[in-house]
A and B are shown apart, each in its own frame.
Chain A
Amino acid sequence: MSRIAEAFADGPAFVPYLAAGDPDYESSLAYVEALERGGADVIELGLPFSEPIAEGPTIQSAIVRALEAGMTPTRYFEFVEDLDVDVPLVCMTYYNLIYQFGEGGGPADFVRRAAEAGVDGFVVPDLPAEEAGPLREACDEHGCELIFIVAPTTKGERLERIMSQVSGYVYVQARLGTTGARADLSDRTAESLERVADWDVPKAVGFGISTGDHAQRVIEAGADGVIVGSALVDIVATGAERGDPAVTVASKLEGKARELKEGALRGASGNERPHPERT
């Protein structure tokens, strides 16, 4: 069983995202480690690309901060090696960085180096299943998972094409648009989960989840995990703006992670609590 499969095996998985190197290398190490203390089961770690077309303004700003602080693919792999966490890591980035790394003119060098550093899988939002052959091959060679996003608009043949490629977990996009925390959850989540219900991989829902209550409802709707990015990146951004010490920000991240993880656990136990947004 792969490390990612194990992470999903014991109940609902909490999958937080942060951009590596945001707002700087050292603080970012502390922030990612705080997520694990808060209950992360898998961590999606963004490798910043200059043209993040699938991201909303929150994560885009994080990417700009990280790039300005000197994050590069080479530094990213050092970052992964410097991290003191035990949970599986998923590298979330764009295809051009994967393709350009090393001398090969293809994804092989990137995947080899990532696997060596301790990356367990990849999410590449601008790489549709049709173009993913070479990356899939490299992942197979190095025992890495290739996670695909299923959008509310994904139906029919496209679903099957993705199903034939996906491993690790399927990233179920809860709503249309780009990443970003929302005040409410989309009712398209259940519909999207329904479409992938009989797939033999865990289903993790992301896009717009920002509270423990959201996490609970996503799991109640049938998800195996919740992915949360912007709500956590917001904490990093606020800390950076105010010049808070890294330890303060890390402790807030840990608290938020715990809230989200506990929400997910409540969703799984069916332990209903009052829903302030519904009343």
Chain B
Amino acid sequence: MSSDTGKFGEYGGQYVPEALMPAIEELEDAYERYVLDNEDGFMDDFRERLADFGGRPTPLQRADRLSERYDAEVYLKREDLLHGGAHKLNNALGQVLLAKYMGKERIIAETGAGQHGTATAMACAHLGMPCEVYMGRRDINRQRPNVFRMRLNGADVNPVTVGRGTLKEAISETMRDWAANVEDTHYVIGSVVGPHPFPAMVRDFQRVISEEAREQAREQAGRLPDSVVTCAGGGSNTMGVFAEFVDDADVALYAVEAGGSSLEVDEEAGVAPNSATLSTGTEGVLHGSRTRVLQDRDGQIMESHSVSAGLDYAGVGPELAALVDRDRVTAVTVDDDGALEGFHRLSQLEGIIPALESAHALGYVEDHHDDLGDVILVNVSGRGDKDLETVLEETHGRDIEGAPDIDTFETTGGFQ
């Protein structure tokens, strides 16, 4: 893996309109100087802000009741306790700070679930930068609390109505804005996707998760975990929690993708009722890099699906795709039902309401804990407050193990 060429095996690269290339080169230069070489103490500044503003380090919590249930030691990396309620702040703060060091005057971002947009809006408020966030109309409707949080932090939220109105359309729209305003604007990409240097840079900002987790596991469990399990959409929390374990050959790494309602693809309609890019996608070029994508035979990008908006994306980070290709990371799937069960289980057994994204990882541990060894580390990438309405709606009418009687809530307006 080399970050100087921007290629991870066959994946990566810079497939963007010519107008953006100089900005990408400028960013590459800034990434090397400030992030890799700590010029002007950038990384020290970043880490200090992550601690004071962000609340790092986040705990690695031993989950006693899950441990008992699985007859293994289960540890939860609590990224849900980071300021903003998800791992997204690590990257957003890093990029907004970098933009500031670069002398940029305006921040734009796209968001799916709203977590990245929220984190970017918070980082911009913290650092005094104007911020505009593009968000699919459909995602705006299903993530209203996050939209309000962005507005509260002073960001403008621009609805994207093209196509189905989800993350991939929002990314395209943000790239357009960037192409028009590239000279004074930085585009904070929310995941380890896009043209080089974004995949490497976002991974480096998220790497703090595994730096902490690795040390914490040593201290608390007395050794490294046998397996690290986390959800994968675009792959930013995934690469964040994997990065420092990649060279530990004895630690198995599991990327849990959204199996949605089915892994079968409706070729005719051009729809994948899942977001399982690593598991079912094929090599292609999307949003600036060569990676695995969900596409039809012609190469048109398919609509994806997941009960969790944050995983609902037809592409995935090129480095993660390369790690799966060389069998260092195992890509697996959990469907919508499994994720909902994981959501309710953690809420009831541990008093932690996880993001629906993270609930996929918990769903996988439930079904496969026998294969995951004695010490299992699960990344709880975010908290589930943003998902409460979705969970109410999606649990209603389904047979979800461990769920409270949602039908009662729906008919009476409250639990009895």
B162 to chain A: which residues have CB within 8 Å? 57, 60, 64
Does B60 interact with chain A (Cβ within 8 Å)? no
B68 to chain A: which residues have CB within 8 Å? none
Please tell me if the beta carbons of A53 and B16 are within 8 angstroms of each other in the complex.
yes
How many chain-B residues does the 8 Å CB contact rule pick out?
A: 35
Instruction: Give A149 to B162 CA distance when docked, in angstroms.
Output: 26
A128 to chain B: which residues have CB within 8 Å? 14-16, 18, 21
Within 8 Å by CB of A176, from B13, B181, B283, B293, lies: B181
Instruction: Give A46 to B21 CA distance when docked, in angstroms.
Output: 23
Produce 1/0 per residue, A98-115, CB < 8 A to B: 011100010000000000
Instruction: Give A176 to B181 CA distance when docked, in angstroms.
Output: 7
Does B285 interact with chain A (Cβ within 8 Å)? yes
A178 to chain B: which residues have CB within 8 Å? 17, 176, 179-180
Within residues 80 to 111 of chain A, which ones have a CB less than 8 A from any CB in chain B?
94-97, 99-101, 105
A101 to chain B: which residues have CB within 8 Å? 298-299
Within 8 Å by CB of B179, from A97, A100, A130, A176, lies: A176
Instruction: Give A128 to B14 CA distance when docked, in angstroms.
Output: 7
Instruction: Give A94 to B172 CA distance when docked, in angstroms.
Output: 13
Please tell me if the beta carbons of B15 and A131 are within 8 angstroms of each other in the complex.
yes
Please tell me if the beta carbons of A176 and B19 are within 8 angstroms of each other in the complex.
yes
Instruction: Give the residue among B18, B180, B183 with the most A Cβ atoms within 10 A.
Output: B18
Please tell me if the beta carbons of B17 and A149 are within 8 angstroms of each other in the complex.
yes
B14 to chain A: which residues have CB within 8 Å? 128, 130-131
Within residues 50 to 90 of chain A, which ones have a CB less than 8 A from any CB in chain B?
50-57, 60, 64, 67, 72-74
Instruction: Give A155 to B299 CA distance when docked, in angstroms.
Output: 32
Does B175 interact with chain A (Cβ within 8 Å)? yes
Instruction: Give the residue among B182, B183, B298 with the most A Cβ atoms within 10 A.
Output: B298
Q: Closest CB of chain B to A170's CB: distance in Å?
A: 11
How many of chain A's residues touch chain B, expressed as a range?
35 or more
Please tell me if the beta carbons of A53 and B287 are within 8 angstroms of each other in the complex.
yes
Majority-rule SS of B interface residues: mixed
Does A255 interact with chain B (Cβ within 8 Å)? no
Give how many A-B residue pairs fall within 8 Å (CB-CB). Answer: 119
Majority-rule SS of A interface residues: loop
Please tell me if the beta carbons of A149 and B301 are within 8 angstroms of each other in the complex.
no
Please tell me if the beta carbons of A151 and B18 are within 8 angstroms of each other in the complex.
yes
Please tell me if the beta carbons of B295 and A96 are within 8 angstroms of each other in the complex.
yes
Within 8 Å by CB of B182, from A52, A56, A57, A153, lies: A153
Instruction: Give A55 to B253 CA distance when docked, in angstroms.
Output: 39
A100 and B18 in contact (CB under 8 A), knowing A51-B286, A53-B175, A126-B285?
A: no
Does B326 interact with chain A (Cβ within 8 Å)? no
Instruction: Give A51 to B168 CA distance when docked, in angstroms.
Output: 8
Does A148 interact with chain B (Cβ within 8 Å)? yes
Within residues 133 to 183 of chain A, which ones have a CB less than 8 A from any CB in chain B?
148-155, 158, 162, 173, 176-178
Does B30 interact with chain A (Cβ within 8 Å)? no
Instruction: Give A153 to B299 CA distance when docked, in angstroms.
Output: 30
Instruction: Give A72 to B23 CA distance when docked, in angstroms.
Output: 33
Q: Closest CB of chain A to B145's CB: distance in Å?
A: 29
Does A49 interact with chain B (Cβ within 8 Å)? yes
Does B163 interact with chain A (Cβ within 8 Å)? yes
Does B165 interact with chain A (Cβ within 8 Å)? no
Q: Closest CB of chain B to A178's CB: distance in Å?
A: 5
Instruction: Give A59 to B400 CA distance when docked, in angstroms.
Output: 45
B300 to chain A: which residues have CB within 8 Å? 49-50, 67, 72, 97
Does A201 interact with chain B (Cβ within 8 Å)? no
Instruction: Give A96 to B300 CA distance when docked, in angstroms.
Output: 8
Please tell me if the beta carbons of B301 and A51 are within 8 angstroms of each other in the complex.
yes
Instruction: Give A129 to B300 CA distance when docked, in angstroms.
Output: 23
A222 to chain B: which residues have CB within 8 Å? none
Please tell me if the beta carbons of B22 and A158 are within 8 angstroms of each other in the complex.
yes
Q: Closest CB of chain A to B347's CB: distance in Å?
A: 37
Known: A57-B162, A72-B298. 17 other contacts (CB 8 A): A53-B172, A53-B175, A53-B287, A94-B285, A95-B15, A96-B285, A100-B295, A126-B16, A131-B13, A150-B18, A153-B19, A154-B19, A154-B22, A176-B181, A176-B182, A177-B179, A178-B17
What are 30 A-to-B residue pairs whose CB atoms are below 8 Å?
Answer: A49-B300, A51-B172, A54-B17, A56-B176, A57-B162, A67-B300, A72-B300, A73-B298, A73-B299, A95-B285, A96-B285, A96-B286, A96-B299, A126-B16, A126-B17, A128-B14, A128-B15, A128-B18, A128-B21, A151-B18, A153-B22, A153-B23, A154-B19, A154-B21, A154-B22, A158-B22, A177-B19, A177-B176, A177-B179, A177-B180
